Structures are given as C-alpha cells and as structure tokens.
Amino acid sequence: MSDLDDGIATGATTRAALRATRTRNPKKLVLAVPVAPTSTLDELRGEADDIVCLEDYEFFGAIDAYARDFSQVSDEEVIDILKQLSRRLNETKEPAA
C-alpha cells in the first residue's frame, strides 16, 4: 500500500496518513513524494517500510517553490491515474504468448 503526497514540509499530515494506513495492516507501506526536507524524511523513516523521494533538501522552502504547476488535482483525477498505472503494470507482468 502506498501513501502519495505532493510534497512534505513538516511531515505532520504525512505522519498521520502513514499511521492511519498502517492500521489497515498492509504487507508493505511505501511513502512516495516528489520533494521533502531531508530532516523530515529522516523523522518519517520509522513510519513507512520504504520511502521514495525524488529530491530532498537540507534547506527547504515552501513546496510550491519546487513545482512548475502546483494546481489542485481532484480525487477523481488521482484515482484515474492510479487505475491507468495499475493497468500498465499488469500488462507488463503478463507472460508473452
């Protein structure tokens, strides 16, 4: 199971999401974020089984400073994107005929 976030600043919301997700007893809990402060990632290491972060910085400003487009994404858009990704991953797992 994965928790996705648009970026982490203090980590408070992410920590709460990871703890709530952990109560569902996932086989593996992965946190995936594009950008975060190095110190916050260090603090969250005990909350997730794995953390995937594309960029981390010692000196961190606001999250929107790291994105070209920081507009809101609807729940429906996220669900659609995740479904598309799931289909693609399943297609690559199918054995060749």
What CATH code is carried by the domain that includes residue 25? Answer: 3.40.50.2020
What's the pLDDT score for residue 26?
93
pLDDT of residue 72: 83
Q: What confidence score (pLDDT) does residue 22 get?
A: 95
The number of domains in the chain is 1
Q: What is the pLDDT of residue 10?
A: 86
Q: Is residue 80 part of a domain?
A: no
Is residue 35 a part of any domain in this protein? yes
Look at residue 86 and tell me if it is in a domain: no
Residue identified by tokens 């990704």 is: 85
- pLDDT value of position 2: 57
Residues of the chain with pLDDT under 50: none
What is the pLDDT at residue 5? 62
pTM value?
0.67
**Res 34: pLDDT:** 86
Q: What is the DSSP letter of 95?
A: P
Print the domain residue range for 26: 2-67
Task: With respect to residue 97, please indicate whether it lies within any of the assigned structural domains.
Answer: no
- Nearest Cα neighbor of 31 from 49, 16, 57 is 49
Span between the terminal Cα atoms of the chain, in Å: 30
